[in-house]
A and B are shown apart, each in its own frame.
Chain A
């Protein structure tokens, strides 16, 4: 009944607005290619879940801002003990969940304990591994004690997987998400669209939009006509390929080329001969021409990378010159490895255009130095099983889209099969350091080690192509975290 009243009010407002021409539009339809499997950010890795709900419906103690910075959210402020192990969060006191229940310290404790419990199905459970205890001091104060200091703890709490949920609604969030954010969930027509509406009881600055609909447009070829016909007013993450110049020259639309956190790499099985030899990996690095790959696999858009790190991050160092494109050098290195006649290997490619197109280009580039790649296309489910879980592969191409994920190279048994104690030490130190300048320095060291070891072929940072109505403003240019934050979005009239 209540939702109905709000809807009716919203509809009246919209009607009023358009008929008088005084007020700006307050509704928005966004297009997205993949539909979320469910609507609980704490129980799934699909980017589409966060792209609908993060910052809009759900909030955490902290949040990640448009340039990747950590901002306060449900926690107003915090204090960190001198040993870096105890975090005391002061919570906002006037917050209510969308179902009307109060938000307090108990909800924070519930959410963090649930995410790290033995039966937790949190896709990023490792984010919470450092937590030792969570204590409720009073209704607006929570004390979190860590097993050891963790420099990235506040950042980790800003992930979509760390949002605060209520014990009453947590079991049903997959179908009917209940958060504390400026929008409330309204309706999910499966296969079609998800609608959120303004939360009139929001604790913070109210949003300009009354209603936003995320419409699923699975076919890339349908995205352009959907925009042109006005059915959809924004596609924050478009994959329109050749139609890009057409949209760029159309004054009705804004085309924004930004960056994601997706390091696109030629994943290499570092334990499998001959890739266990540094010379072979260096030879591959020298044989790769990043520009040709970006031109062919990403419509010429995307920043070349020389290590596993996002160019948007302030600790980024450009290491693309470590092993420049040099076929003679590559052949020379293969000779040193005793493979002057070349060798053959397989290249397993997941069903994404950058991998399928990039794979063909890389295969032809490596053929020039005598490496003969057999391309094996695989489905995602198959890729996760064969390549990622069973490590049954030589080479693959994939984009690692998690933000700040250089630490995956220190994980034992990760599918790269990379093992370098010197690198592990840097990551360990990074975990224990919270001083920004020192962390930047350590990040730089880590990038350098990976580049020198040529662990994987480092190709390019996956771009984010956003297209929206020229009268719309406030959508993110980059995606430091997978999200479509609508809190600052509004129509200009």
Chain B
């Protein structure tokens, strides 16, 4: 087990290092000068040069790479070129919006999708199945920014129940902050729930064909009990895989919804940093996401080993 753990850890570290090299190299070849973007069209050459020096852009590439990697090992992600504050501060400021938003929409998505998928599987081929899967089809097809605007017009402009956008900050109190995250979470959850419901349905239908289900039915258990107690638990593996993927997407892939609701989240930070060529911020956030994915995979690997003793013996 120790050897297995050590091996997995080594793989995780190597993945991170390789990712850092790829991320750094890719961003360096993108054309565009952060100093020129900052000072604009009227800037004199000496002012540009002075700013490049100040930003540390004139150091040779290998030096900058090593500085960056060494810094990250100590949790120092460098200083933003544009904001000129530590990158880690920017990330923390945004994560307090993005993480709760991702968690709320994920929870919403699960709460909607699993009953809907089970319901459809239970009534396979009947009207209920067609209805819920039809709704899921619609959920996948509707562009979420458009759905978001509909929500804004209904709940913010017409009913005035929630703000049309923006984030007051957690310092304004839990309730106002949660209220600001409510519509975006719904807008994000809908398409995710639609996908998840379809996955749940097909996984359930597959497990319903297994021998142990037949056995359970044969010993006289009602169909509903078999489905909810026996089949659903076994069908959860593919569902959880999708949930894991959705989580990393929801953490930073929500740029469009963040724009529509003008939320200061991680997605917008990356987007803004890319357009302003604030490369060190982009690099920092991307590395953080890589680390999240690596960490999740590491945990999954461990749990496989816990579940399946054959892996431990290897």
* Interface residues of A, Cβ cutoff 8 Å to B: 35, 37-38, 43-46, 118-126, 174-175, 189-193, 215-219, 221-222, 225-226, 228-231, 379-382, 384-386, 388-389, 400, 402, 405, 408
Contacts and interface: CB of A to CB of B under 8 A. Distances in A.
A118 B166 contact: no
Chain A residues touching B, majority SS? loop
Given A118-B46, A121-B51, A226 B275 contact: no
B31 A225 contact: no
A129 to B, nearest CB: 8
A231 B164 contact: yes
Given A222-B164, A229-B156, 17 more contacts: A37-B276, A38-B82, A38-B84, A120-B47, A121-B47, A121-B50, A123-B47, A124-B43, A125-B44, A175-B85, A217-B262, A219-B259, A222-B260, A225-B152, A228-B157, A231-B156, A384-B32
A215 B93 contact: no
14 contacts: A38-B83, A123-B42, A123-B43, A125-B44, A174-B83, A189-B169, A191-B265, A192-B262, A218-B262, A222-B261, A228-B157, A231-B165, A231-B166, A381-B276
B157 to A, nearest CB: 5
Given A217-B165, A385-B33, A191 B94 contact: yes
A186 to B, nearest CB: 13
**When A and B form their complex, which 5 residue pairs have the shortest distance between CB atoms, in order from nearest?**
A45-B40, A191-B264, A381-B32, A37-B82, A123-B39
A382 B30 CA distance: 9
Interface string B43-84: 110110011011000000000000000000000000000111
A189 B264 contact: yes
Interface of B: 30-33, 36-44, 46-47, 50-51, 53-54, 82-85, 90, 93-94, 145, 149, 152-153, 156-157, 160, 163-167, 169, 259-265, 268-269, 272, 275-277
Given A191-B264, A222-B152, A385-B32, A125 B46 contact: yes
A405 B166 CA distance: 37
A126 B41 CA distance: 12
B134 to A, nearest CB: 28
Contact of A215 (B156, B169, B262, B265): B262
A237 to B, nearest CB: 16
B50 to A, nearest CB: 5
B269 to A, nearest CB: 6
Given A37-B82, A229-B156, A124 B50 contact: no
Contact of B272 (A35, A124, A379, A388): A35
